[in-house]
Amino acid sequence: MSHLFIKDIKPGMQLNEVYMVTQPVLRNTTRGDLYIAMYLSDRTGKVNARMWQATQAIYNSLPSEGFVQIRGKSELYQNAMQLVINDVVVVDADKVNLSDYMPRTDKDIAQMFGELKAMLEPISHAGLKALVAEFLADTELMRQFCTAPGGMQIHHAYLGGLLEHTHSMMKVTTSILPHYPNIQTDLILAAVFLHDIAKTTELSYKMGFSYTDTGQLLGHLVLGVEMINDKAAEIAQKGTPIDQDVLDNLLHIVVSHHGSGEFGSPKTPATAEAFMISYIDNLDAKMNQVTNLIDNDPGNTNWTAYQRTLETRLYKKHPVLGDGE
């Protein structure tokens, strides 16, 4: 029996399917009854689910991350798809086809990685060139870099998403650098490559997406500084030390690329290169988020549901533009 993917669920459907469950939470209704809120997902998307008239025993049986077979129905709630569950049974991971449940990039991994390496080749500064080469030579890290998602939920939240995000940022960066001749090209190229490198250890992506304990405690900005410092120490031992001023500027870009403390940056951008990376990172993340939300919205109107992270509803209808108009 074929799997009914999240993207193919329409309102009013009766469901008897296996989905990945994450973040189940036991809550009380206003009347004091127990219910379970959870996310159900497969490789095509994620949907909110509710099990009314739940019990502590049912909640205790659910994994924080795993697979469940659910019986229930689908409905639109506030213009967004929601599943209402009647019964739920835990399913062993070895009994499901994992390729149905882990979203992944639809782009060619090998091609993106090859193009990324080619865009790094023009770096001429000896220290930065050696640092980048040290990362590229770490075979296991690069395997993780090509596999990891770019985020948990908001943007590039699929296998290969980290590489796709970095590759896309690099293409944007190389296209606009000629317009800003005072920007230090070598610093920018190295920073784009390394700005999210620690998402390889911040995120767990073997079964669903979650934070590792280390990632939850420290975050990828702090972990990224540690990784870069470690590699810098390694190339220094091999005879190519990197100037502290250059290293400090690179690390500043990494710790400030979220833009402000509100979004997790311990420092606000203070150099031209840091501002450039911060804006390109935000641009690429927003475009990925917006296009995915529009393309995968289940509603049958011209507008998506309200998107809290964007503080707006999104208009889905594309205007038809004639030649010369």
pLDDT digits (tens, 9 = 90+) for 93-151: 888 887 788 888 889 999 999 999 999 999 999 999 999 999 999 999 999 999 999 98
Half-sphere exposure (CA, 13 Å, Cβ side) for 150?
Answer: 26
**297 occurs within a structural domain:** no
Least confident of 157-161, 177-181, 203-207, 282-286: 203-207
Q: What is the pLDDT of residue 185?
A: 97
Domains in the chain: how many in total? 2
Residues 252 and 206 in one domain: yes
Residues 70 and 193 in one domain: no
Residues 122 and 251 in one domain: yes
List of residues 6+ apart from 236 with CB closer than 8 A:
242
- Phi/psi zone of residue 91: left (φ > 0), alpha (ψ -120 to 50 degrees), beta? beta
Task: Compute how many other C-beta atoms are within 10 angstroms of the C-beta atom of residue 312.
Answer: 12
Residues 69 and 152 in one domain: no
Task: Please give the full DSSP string across 305-316, using - where no structure is assigned.
Answer: PPBTTTTB--B-
Tens of pLDDT along 206-216?
A: 766 788 899 99
Which residue in 47, 52, 61, 54 sits closest to 4, CA to CA?
A: 47
Q: Which two tokens stand for residue 24?
A: 């189940």
**174 occurs within a structural domain:** yes
Counting Cβ atoms within 10 Å, is residue 148 exposed (0-12), middle (13-18) or buried (19+)?
Answer: buried
Rounded Cα distance, 321 and 92, in Å = 51
Rounded Cα distance, 13 and 100, in Å = 20
Rounded Cα distance, 144 and 141, in Å = 5
Helices 244-256, 185-194: inter-axial angle, 10-degree rounding = 50
Per the structure, the complete domain to which residue 67 belongs is given by: 6-100
Residues 66 and 45 in one domain: yes
Give phi and psi for 100, each to the nearest 5. -80, -15
Asked whether the beta carbons of 240 and 127 are under 8 A apart, the reply is yes
Residues 51 and 114 in one domain: no
Rounded Cα distance, 134 and 62, in Å = 43
Does an H or E element contain 289, and which? Answer: helix 272-296
**64 occurs within a structural domain:** yes
Half-sphere exposure (CA, 13 Å, Cβ side) for 259?
Answer: 9
With a cut of 80, say whether residue 168 has pLDDT above it: yes
With a cut of 90, say whether residue 267 has pLDDT above it: yes
User: What is the CATH classification number for the domain harbouring 82?
Assistant: 2.40.50.140
Higher pLDDT, 260 or 230: 230
Residues 40 and 148 in one domain: no
With a cut of 90, say whether residue 52 has pLDDT above it: yes
Average pLDDT over residues 232-258: 97
**317 occurs within a structural domain:** no
Prediction pTM value: 0.76
∠ CA 145-146-148, rounded to 5°: 65
Residues 62 and 200 in one domain: no
Residues 208 and 95 in one domain: no
With a cut of 70, say whether residue 325 has pLDDT above it: no
Which residue type, as a one-letter code, is found at position 192? V
Name the band, by pLDDT with cuts 50, 70 and 90, for residue 1.
low
Q: What is the pLDDT of residue 323?
A: 62
Name the band, by pLDDT with cuts 50, 70 and 90, for residue 263.
confident
Residues 218 and 76 in one domain: no
List of residues 6+ apart from 88 with CB closer than 8 A:
51, 58, 62, 68, 69, 70, 71
Counted residue by residue, the chain has a size of 325
Give phi and psi for 21, each to the nearest 5. -110, 140
Does an H or E element contain 161, and which? Answer: helix 161-176
Average pLDDT over residues 254-271: 89
Name the band, by pLDDT with cuts 50, 70 and 90, for residue 322.
low
Which residue in 4, 22, 23 sits closest to 13, CA to CA?
A: 4
With a cut of 60, say whether residue 270 has pLDDT above it: yes
Residue with tokens 């900005």: 221
Residues 209 and 282 in one domain: yes
Q: What is the pLDDT of residue 106?
A: 87
Mean pLDDT for all residues in the chain: 92
**pLDDT above 90 as % of the chain:** 70
Residues 32 and 130 in one domain: no
